[in-house]
Structures are given as C-alpha cells and as structure tokens.
C-alpha cells in the first residue's frame, strides 16, 4: 500500500491503476511524470483520449474502428471485394495488415461465441456478415478466428450458416510457428501439423 501526501495524486494514481497491466507502482511513476512535465502534455493526452472516445465510429460495412462511417480499407478501390476475412476484433485486422499478405476486405465480429461469458451469436456481427455475403459477389470467406474452443465454435457456427451458398470457405492454417524448433511446439499443435501436412514444394 502506497502512502500519499496528496489526495489529488492518490486519485490520479488509482484511476491510472485501473488500466490493464498498470499496477500501483507504474501508475505512480506515470502520475509523477505527468506532474513534472509542463501542463500542455497532460492536456494533449487527455484531449486525445476524450476525442477518441467521443468521436470514433465503426465502419458500417466491416465494423472495424474508423473515423467516418466507412473505414479506409473498405473505401480503398484497390482492395479485392470478392474475398472476406472474418476476424474477432480490430487488433486482428492490424495484425493481418502488417503481414501484407491479404488484399481483400475484413469483417470484424466483435468477439467469439462464448457461452461461459454469455456471448451468443446475436451479440456478434454475424447477421451483417451473412447479409454482406448475400448482397455482394463474395467468392471466398477466410475464417481467421483464434485457435481456441470459442474460435472453433464460432468457425463452425458461421460454416453452418454459409454451407448452402456457393462460396469457398477457408480457415487460416495452424501448425508449428516459422522459426520454431519442434521440441518447443506443444503436442496439440505438433499433432495438428502432422495431420494437416501439405505437399512439399521446392522454392525456385
């Protein structure tokens, strides 16, 4: 327990310590840092946070975070409109964008089905996904959900909804991470990587 000589400081520290991964000691360091810096830095920080919180929108097509009602990816005419990548949240969009391996559009579910936490298909952007597939010329849906039971459940739920339609449904490959030694891969991943082995290709 940290003793404070100032309630104002204590209050600021306890608010900072509510952030994920920020403990009391880090919160104190951050608060003292802001106290030492000139006043405009704290103002700039708080203004940016409040503005983000009040003005940010969700893209009405893919539900990604956006500054207008159409995100920069959906609005980009050079993206392939026929491939849709279904992800859990916007961090996954960023992660896939960083690979530079995908040029289609995204659909952000906003979570995965999780009965324990009470997240049902109706809480996710699945209805809009089906509508989007029905109303556009989508040829492939890539399911890029987490490799967990909840992710698999959601994959299966979406697959059942789409199986009548004449589109290709794929999931991202699971297996040993590139650069990893086999002995460090867990048994389930290594087992899956053997069951799902692919034909060897010589790189030219």
Q: Summarize as ranges the residues that interact with a second copy (CB under 8 A).
A: 2-9, 11-12, 14-16, 18-22, 26, 28-35, 39, 41-46, 48-56, 59, 64-67, 71-73, 89-91, 93-94, 97-98
Q: Residue 22 Cβ, how far from a second copy at the closest point, in Å?
A: 8
Nearer to a second copy, 49 or 147 (CB): 49
* CA distance to 13, 151, 188, per residue, from 185 (Å): 41, 20, 8
Nearer to a second copy, 10 or 171 (CB): 10
Which of 108, 113, 78 is CA-nearest to residue 95? 108
Q: Residue 148 Cβ, how far from a second copy at the closest point, in Å?
A: 19
Q: Residue 103 Cβ, how far from a second copy at the closest point, in Å?
A: 14
Tokens of 204: 């030219």
How far, in Å, CA of 144 to CA of 91, rounded? 12
Nearer to a second copy, 66 or 154 (CB): 66
Q: Residue 181 Cβ, how far from a second copy at the closest point, in Å?
A: 25
Which of 33, 32, 2, 28 is CA-nearest to residue 15? 28
Q: Residue 135 Cβ, how far from a second copy at the closest point, in Å?
A: 22
How far, in Å, CA of 16 to CA of 59, rounded? 30
Nearer to a second copy, 10 or 189 (CB): 10
Nearer to a second copy, 12 or 126 (CB): 12
How far, in Å, CA of 168 to CA of 87, rounded? 17
How far, in Å, CA of 65 to CA of 75, rounded? 13
């Amino acid at each position: 327990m940290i003793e404070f000589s100032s309630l104002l400081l204590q209050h600021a520290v306890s608010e900072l310590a509510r952030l994920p991964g920020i403990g009391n000691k880090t919160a104190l360091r951050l608060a003292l840092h802001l106290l030492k810096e000139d006043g405009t830095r704290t103002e700039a920080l708080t203004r940016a946070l409040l503005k983000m919180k009040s003005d940010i929108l969700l893209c009405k097509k893919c539900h990604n975070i956006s500054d207008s009602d159409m995100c920069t990816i959906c609005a980009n005419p050079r993206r392939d409109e026929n491939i849709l990548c279904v992800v859990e949240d916007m961090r996954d969009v960023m992660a896939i964008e960083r690979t530079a391996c995908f040029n289609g559009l995204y659909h952000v579910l906003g979570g995965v089905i999780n009965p324990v936490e009470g997240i049902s298909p109706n809480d996710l952007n699945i209805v809009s996904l089906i509508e989007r597939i029905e109303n556009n010329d989508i040829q492939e849906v890539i399911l890029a959900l987490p490799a967990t039971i909840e992710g698999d459940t959601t994959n299966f739920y979406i697959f059942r909804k789409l199986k009548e339609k004449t589109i290709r449904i794929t999931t991202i490959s699971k297996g040993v991470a590139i650069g990893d030694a086999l002995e460090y891969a867990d048994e389930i991943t290594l087992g899956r990587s053997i069951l799902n082995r692919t034909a060897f290709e010589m790189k030219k």
